Each structure stands twice: as structure tokens, then as C-alpha cells.
Amino acid sequence: MTTAPFRILPTSPEHAETLAALQVTVFPELDPAERFRARHYRRHIEVFPDGQFVAMPTRGARFPVAATTTLRVHLDPDHPRHTFREAIGDLGLSAHREDGPWLYGADLGVRPDWRRRGIARALYDTRRATARRLGLEGEVTVGLLNGYGAMADRIAIADYYRAVISRRLLDPTVSMQLHLGFEARALLPDYVEDTRCRGYGVLLIRPTLTLAARVSLH
């Protein structure tokens, strides 16, 4: 049996400095005011230890090569508009609610030299398993339309959004999330300050129950 090159583990305080550096690598054009720093990662563990995960190499490097941050929130899918800062509160996740029925994926990032090894999928699988274990309604996240910035002078955002969610156009972030089973619910302007996506994100929902299971309950 081939050993996987990484393991998914709960985030620990000693990972904080490395994860702060990872934010700069993964989100190079994000407004620095919206990047997590080491003190924020330590706070995340205090606020919601069950929802913070890293990918660690099984051999060689002794530092995380990927991570995801989540919190529990109350969400009304029929009134979806919000910004990143509104969703999480301050960068220490002050919007986390212990009784929140939705797991909100605040971010997920993989070092460039560790991509295409299944790490992002494994982290998304871990988030899904967490939502199920906690008995939540499902997951919500906002996928940044990171392919739009390079095309903004040739296509309107509404057309780009429709082309991506209809699978006629590939976006490097949102297309992957749709492939993993997330449902697009709305285009969100001014979600973050990032030139790659021109601030646009897509509200994505992945219910804990499958569509067939939801229908069978009614």
C-alpha cells in the first residue's frame, strides 16, 4: 500500500507562524488587512478547535503545507449578501456561534509546490465530515472568482458568473468547488479586496444531506 504524502490534522498553536506566512503565499493580492496572522490562528483554536485543520507532510517537511479555517454561523440562504469580514466578524472569528447550524469555510489554501496531490479535496472532505459529525445542516463558503481579473476587460462579471456555474467556463477556484458538490446560490460583489477576483465571490452551499435524502424527508 502506498502511503499518502500528507495527513490532515487539527491545527495546533505551533503552526500559527507558518500559517501566517502561508496566507501571503496563497493570497498574494488579498488586502493585507484581510489576511490571518499568527495571533489570529491561535485565537481560532481557542474559539472553535473542532473546525481548524492543516495538511502535514508524512515525511520530510515538519510544517503545514495547507490549511483551512472554519466557524459555525447562522445563515439565511435567501438573503445571502455579505462580505468576508461580515461573515467572520473580526479576524479572530468573533462571528462564531456555538449553536450555528452551518459550517462556514473562511478560507482554504495549499502551498503552490504541494498542489495537485489531493490536499484541497482532503481538506474539503474533512470539513464535510466535521459538519456531519456536529449534526449541522451543511457547509457554506464563498468561492473567489480568481479567474475573472485576467478577463475583466473582455467579459462582464454577470456573464462570467453564469458561464462558470453552467460549466461552460473554468474558474480556477469555483469550478473545483462545484465539482466537489457545492451549489452556487448567488454572486457576491465586494466580498474581499483582491485584484485576482476583482472582489467577486460566489456563495456556495453543500448541504449535509444529499438532494435525494432531503426529498425523502418531505
Q: Tell me: the pLDDT tens digits for 109-133?
A: 999 999 999 999 999 999 999 999 9
Strand pairing category for 183-188 and 201-207? antiparallel
Taken in order of first residue, the domains within the chain and their CATH numbers are 6-216 (3.40.630.30)
Cα separations (Å) of 85 from 31, 95, 100, 129?
12, 9, 17, 25
pLDDT band for position 56 (cuts 50, 70, 90): very high
pLDDT per position as a tens digit, 152-190: 999 999 999 999 999 999 999 999 999 999 999 999 999
pLDDT of residue 218: 39
Instruction: Give the separation between CA 10 and CA 53, rounded to whole angstroms.
Output: 4
Q: Which triple of cell numbers denotes residue 4?
A: 499518502
Question: Residue 203 burial (CB < 10 Å; 0-12/13-18/19+)?
Answer: buried
pLDDT of residue 3: 73
Cα separations (Å) of 173 from 94, 136, 145, 211?
26, 24, 7, 23
Residue 191, pLDDT above cutoff 60: yes
Residue 210, pLDDT above cutoff 60: no
Intra-chain end-to-end CA distance of the chain, in Å: 44
Query: pLDDT above 90 covers what percent of the chain?
Result: 89
- The model carries a pTM of 0.92
Residue 65, pLDDT above cutoff 90: yes
Q: Report which DSSP code applies to 136.
A: -
In one-letter notation, the amino acid at residue 32 is P
Instruction: State the residue for C-alpha cell 454572486.
Output: 187
